[in-house]
Each structure stands twice: as structure tokens, then as C-alpha cells.
Amino acid sequence: MAIQTRRSEDGRTLTIKIEGRFDFSTHQVFRDAYEHGDQEVIHYVIDMCETTYLDSSALGMLLLLRDYAGGDTARISIENCNNDVRRILTISNFEQLFAIQ
């Protein structure tokens, strides 16, 4: 498991790329990935192209990010999910809370 972050040129979009399993062991690293960013960030992108698995604690972490980014006004998109990851997000109806592409 590894997490990489990338800022867009204007500094307003933070892309967090999660490799491997996204589960409780990722907790601290995932938090660090967005909490130490500065205030300019208004849009978060979770890139799941290399994410193999997602468990319910990962869903919890996504909710924490959503709270951090402003709750109902948060702009978070989840991108490039494989079928398994997509299935878990769909079962939990997370498309009601996140833009899943």
C-alpha cells in the first residue's frame, strides 16, 4: 500500500492516488495526505486506478475526508475504480455523497 499526492498547477486540486489495498492500515497515511495540504485546495480527486480492494474502514476514511473538505459542500471525486471497488462503493450508495467516475 502506498499513497501519492499531486497538486494541480493552480494548487486548487489535490489528487490522492491509493495503491494496493485501501483499508484500516492506510488510516494515518491517508489522513496525512490531505490534512497537511494548504487552504487553497477546493477539489479533491481520489484516484483508485491502482487500488485493488476497499473495506468499510476505507469508506469511513472517505467520509472523514468529506467532513474535512466541508461536509455537504465538499467537492470530491473518486476516479478509475476497478469493478470490485466500484461494487463496494455502489452497495454503500456512496454516489450520493461523492462524484464517482
Partner 1 sequence: MDEPLPEKGPLRVLIADDSDSDRLILQAMVKRLGHDVVAAEDGFAAVEQYRVFHPHIVLLDVMMPRMDGMEAAHEIKALAGEVLVPVIFLTSLSDAGALARCLESGGDDFLPKPYNRIIIEAKINAFNRMRLMHRTLSHQRDLIHARNWQLLQEQEVAKRVFDNVAHTGCLNASNIQHHASPTSIFNGDVLFACPRPSGGMHILIGDFTGHGLPAAIGAMPVAEIFYGMTSKGFGCGDVLREINQKLKRILPTGMFCCAAFIEADFHLNCLRVWNGGLPDGYLIRGNGEREILTSNHLPLGVLSPERFAAAVDYYRTEPGDTLLFATDGILEAENADGEMFGQDRLLEALDSAEEHGSAFDAVMAGVRAFTGAHLVQDDLTIVALEMVEEEALVGLDNRTPPSALRGPASWDCSYSISDRTLGHFNPLPLLLHICMEVPGLRRRSGEVYTLLSELYTNALEHGILGLPSDWKSSPEGFGRYYAERERRLASLRGHRIEFTLHHRTSRDGGELRIVCEDSGPGFDYKDLLGPDEAQARYAGRGLGLLRQLSVSLDFKGAGNQVEVLYQWDYSEPRSQG
Q: Which residues bind partner 1 (CB under 8 A)?
A: 24, 56-57, 59-61, 63-64, 67, 90-94, 96-97
Max distance between CA atoms of the chain, in angstroms, equals 35
**Nearer to partner 1 (CB atom), residue 1 or residue 59:** 59
**Nearer to partner 1 (CB atom), residue 4 or residue 90:** 90
Minimum distance from CB of 55 to partner 1 (Å)? Answer: 9
CB under 8 A, 24+ apart: contacts of 60-65: 61/22, 61/26, 61/27, 61/30, 61/31, 62/94, 62/98, 63/97, 64/31, 65/30, 65/34
Minimum distance from CB of 8 to partner 1 (Å)? Answer: 26
Minimum distance from CB of 42 to partner 1 (Å)? Answer: 20
